[in-house]
């Protein structure tokens, strides 16, 4: 890994895709102008709404840049050929009529890689709050690691952060930095967001760049915000609570080396395929 300036974009998208996308591009361009060479946009940066609405700004699998939600971000990268932008969760048309929730990796005006969210948020939070992401969103079927000149980047989206086995699989193939674009709900964010992000950094011994939506989106939706960048020791390098913001941090590769040398847990881990569980029934 090389020294790298990373930025997590925090914003509040709504049901107007043109307005949401314009704000995402503005913040992304400002982060690049300020020296960031890894910029992570939050989940649903191009608009928040039901799946049927998101199909209206979804991209086709064979031509991502044909839709404004991707083309505008790709264009923003052209002036910075040494920069990588992770376009949070972008709707991609799925064969079954739903959409994939897809993170795109862009550089120099091109799409380099894509990751389709594996874990879909179907949850009953109590108080009449219920989410059924799988009703309109199709799951992906693979983890994705992107090797860049600066870092090996493991991709994930929002609810994925609750599943440590995904990140261990990414570390097993060389991940040094993990990204978590998200739109965490207020109740789950208040209870778990920072804890989960820091846990993934500590157990994976990786940097984590977690970019979040914040505030009211309309249609009864609201996100927790609290974007942050964490180092491999679990230290928060930069964070913000509320409001639109660019959360910027300098990532020192020495911190990754030091964390992995001090507590070599990645080398000590017993692989799951070698692990036998003894169940003792005393009842």
pLDDT in tens, 41-100: 999 999 998 877 888 889 999 999 999 999 999 999 999 999 999 999 999 999 999 999
pLDDT digits (tens, 9 = 90+) for 249-266: 999 999 999 999 999 999
239 falls within a domain = yes
Euclidean distance between CA atoms 218 and 14, whole angstroms? 6
State the catalytic residue, choosing from 28, 43, 65, 206: 43
Euclidean distance between CA atoms 91 and 179, whole angstroms? 18
Catalytic residue flag (residue 43): yes
Cβ neighbours, 10 Å, residue 3: 12
Is the predicted pLDDT of residue 129 greater than 80, yes or no?
no
19 falls within a domain = yes
Residue 42 DSSP class: E
Catalytic residue flag (residue 117): yes
Identify the pLDDT of residue 124: 80
Number of domains the chain contains: 1
State the catalytic residue, choosing from 28, 65, 117, 176: 117
279 falls within a domain = no
Range of the domain at 261: 4-274
Look at the block and give the residue holding tokens 């939706």. 221
Identify the pLDDT of residue 52: 79
Give the residue from 153, 128, 145, 118 showing the smallest Cα distance to 40.
153
| pLDDT bucket at 180, cuts 50 / 70 / 90 | very high
Catalytic residue flag (residue 158): yes
Calculate the CA dihedral of residues 29, 32, 37, 39 and round it to 10 degrees: -40
Q: Are the C-beta atoms of 156 and 175 separated by less than 8 Å? A: no
Identify the pLDDT of residue 128: 66
Identify the pLDDT of residue 218: 82
Beta strands, E only, the chain: 4-10, 38-43, 84-93, 99-107, 110-116, 122-126, 129-132, 137-138, 145-147, 152-155, 177-179, 207-210, 214-218, 221-224, 228-230, 236-239, 245-251
75 falls within a domain = yes
Looking up residue 40, the CATH number of its domain turns out to be 3.60.110.10
């Amino acid at each position: 890994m090389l020294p790298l300036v990373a930025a997590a974009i925090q914003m509040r998208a709504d049901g107007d895709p043109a307005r949401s996308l314009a704000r995402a591009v503005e913040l992304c361009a400002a982060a690049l102008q300020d020296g960031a060479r890894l910029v992570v946009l939050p989940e649903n940066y191009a608009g928040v709404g039901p799946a049927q609405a998101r199909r209206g700004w979804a991209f086709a699998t064979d031509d991502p840049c044909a839709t404004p939600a991707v083309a505008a971000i790709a264009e923003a990268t052209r002036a910075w050929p040494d920069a990588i932008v992770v376009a949070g969760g972008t709707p991609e048309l799925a064969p079954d009529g739903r959409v994939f929730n897809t993170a795109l990796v862009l550089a120099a005006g091109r799409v380099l890689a894509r990751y389709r969210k594996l874990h879909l948020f179907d949850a009953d939070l109590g108080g009449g709050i219920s989410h059924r992401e799988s009703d309109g969103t199709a799951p992906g079927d693979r983890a994705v690691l992107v090797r860049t000149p600066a870092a090996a980047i493991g991709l994930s989206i929002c609810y994925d952060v609750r599943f440590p086995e995904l990140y261990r699989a990414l570390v097993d193939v060389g991940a040094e930095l993990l990204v978590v674009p998200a739109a965490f709900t207020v109740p789950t964010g208040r209870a778990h967001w920072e804890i989960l992000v820091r846990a993934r950094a500590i157990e994976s011994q990786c940097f984590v760049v977690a970019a979040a939506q914040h505030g009211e989106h309309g249609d009864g939706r609201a996100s927790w915000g609290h974007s942050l960048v964490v180092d491999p020791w679990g230290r928060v390098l930069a964070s913000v609570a509320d409001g639109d913001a660019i959360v910027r941090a300098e990532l020192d590769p020495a911190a990754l080396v030091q964390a992995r040398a001090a507590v070599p847990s990645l080398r000590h881990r017993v692989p799951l395929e070698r692990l036998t569980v003894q169940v003792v029934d005393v009842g």
